[in-house]
Amino acid sequence: MNKIYSPAIFLLFLMLSCKKEAPPQPKPLEISVTTVLQQDVKIESEYTGQTFGQSDIQINPRVDGLIESINFREGSFVTKGQLLYTIDALPYRAKLNEAEGGAAESQARLSKTKSDLDMITPLAKINAVSQRELVSAKSAYTASIAQIKASDASVQNAKIELGYCRIVAPISGLIGISKVRVGDYVRPGPASILNTISDLGDVRVRFTMSEQEFLRLYREFNKPNSVLKGSGASVTLKLSDGSIYPQTGKVSFTDRQIDPSTGAITFEAAFPNPDKLLRPGQYAKIALLTDIRKDAIVIPQRAVIEVQGIYQVYVLGNDNKVQMQIVKPGPAVQNGYIIEEGLKPGDKIAMGGTSLLKNGSVITPKVTQWQLGETETAVTK
């Protein structure tokens, strides 16, 4: 009997050992889920600008000559009236001496012609001298008076030119790198710039805006119930390293015309600069409040999936199943989107972050709190 049933038992054992076990069901994906927010949102538009000092004064020579001395430290703060440069004054001092000599000679001539006139006048009354001599004496005296005025003007002009040999700071501020050195020859003219001084008390930032944006903002500001009134004039400044400048500025200037070559208009905003952090020539971004959306639907940007211009999100439904929903996004604000169509307050959406998520997938939701402009934090139960 053992010999008869042994092959059958062996065959049954072999069939049972070859039977595959059923694979375990995969665990649902753990996906971060957040609730759609509804809140008032301030929309800011960014514009690229460049910084200027409150006053940027160029230092130009007003007489020609050799630079004799430089009397400041480059890149330092100078005060109004401080001596900056001296130009060789010897030619101008000689010119002043010559003008003063001419003035003394004119004064002597005036004294002589007055004396002659005083002597001739009574003689002319008794006809001791001719009337022609009297007229000649009067003319000489008048000419001497005019010569005195011309001589005094020459002396004054020579003193002014001599004074121009000492170049002083017209304002207090930060002075830059000198364009000339001792021994360089300089002469007056717009192309001859020795240095520039910037007053950094307040710093101006100039930026441009398109004509269409300007028209929209102008109409919005002039509405009787405009939401921008009272707050739309304040601007913030983002520095080149991405940090936000701590001081808030105000729009202080708008150009009179739109540049026909670019179709843009120039604005200027003023920012306090107590720590002297801002310097002329910096490139920065201006953030200007351009709209306020009341009760806007806001979701994280990372939750939105864009495919060929179609924007979609995964909405959490019953039984932890997600369904793909097409949405219409509005402006991007910080790390979020304003959603104009497709979602309602209270909807829960998947934060995304994985390509394994599909329409109809069952997930393990990980509830996450998210705020506009902040990073999300998990909610522990």
What domains, with CATH codes, occur in the chain?
29-42+295-378 (2.40.420.20), 45-54+199-293 (2.40.30.170), 66-86+167-193 (no CATH), 89-164 (1.10.287.470)
- Which candidate, 42, 38, 36, places its Cα nearest to that of 369? 36
Report the C-alpha gap between 190 and 61 in whole angstroms.
9
Report the C-alpha gap between 155 and 166 in whole angstroms.
18
pLDDT for res 12:
57
The pTM assigned to this predicted structure is 0.67
pLDDT for res 59:
95
Using an 8 Å Cβ cutoff, are 332 and 322 in contact? no
- Extract the runs of DSSP E, i.e. beta strands, from 273-378: 283-300, 305-307, 310-316, 322-333, 336-341, 348-350, 363-369, 377-378
Distances (CA, A) of 11 to 5, 7, 19, 139, 194: 10, 6, 13, 153, 106
Please report which helix (H) or strand (E) contains residue 45, including its range: strand 37-59
Per-residue pLDDT of the chain (381 residues; tens, 9 = 90+): 444 455 556 555 555 555 555 566 667 788 889 999 999 888 888 899 999 999 999 999 999 999 999 999 999 999 999 999 999 999 999 999 999 999 999 899 888 888 888 888 888 888 887 888 888 888 998 998 999 999 999 999 999 999 999 999 999 999 999 999 999 999 998 889 999 999 998 899 999 999 998 998 888 888 777 767 655 567 899 998 889 999 999 888 889 999 999 999 999 999 999 988 999 999 999 988 888 888 899 999 988 988 888 999 999 988 888 899 999 998 888 888 999 999 998 899 998 767 778 888 888 888 888 888 766 565 544
For residue 234, what are the β-bridge partners? 250
Report the C-alpha gap between 188 and 160 in whole angstroms.
14
Report the C-alpha gap between 224 and 329 in whole angstroms.
29
pLDDT for res 74:
95
Within 13 A of 332's CA, how many CA atoms are on the CB side? 8
pLDDT for res 2:
47
